Amino acid sequence: MFTKCLILSVEIFCRFLEFFKLENEIGNITRQEAVSMLNQLNNSWRERKVQGEEQNSKRKILMG
């Protein structure tokens, strides 16, 4: 896990953090965009899981 101390002590991580801060300040990315995607990803994962379970059920029926 990356702690704040680790990020600030490693130059490449520090530069990466500064990049994100700058992009956020100029409006290219926002925290809300990332957070709102989590629900979409979760729903997509659930749909795939249900589809996979349905396919497995059909296979079991066909194989007897």
Average pLDDT over residues 47-63: 74
Q: Which pTM was predicted?
A: 0.40
Q: Is the model's pLDDT at 42 over the cut of 70?
A: no
Which residues are CB-contacts of 42 (< 8 A; sequence separation ≥ 6)?
none
Q: Is the model's pLDDT at 15 over the cut of 60?
A: yes
Residue span of the structural domain in which 52 resides? 4-63
Q: How far is CA 59 from the centre of its chain?
A: 31
**Domain count across the chain:** 1
Integer Cα distance of 28 and 42 in angstroms: 24
Integer Cα distance of 46 and 35 in angstroms: 18
DSSP state letters, 25-55: HTTS--HHHHHHHHHHHHHHHHHHHHHHHHH
Average pLDDT over residues 19-41: 73
**pLDDT score recorded for residue 7:** 75
Q: Is the model's pLDDT at 40 over the cut of 70?
A: no
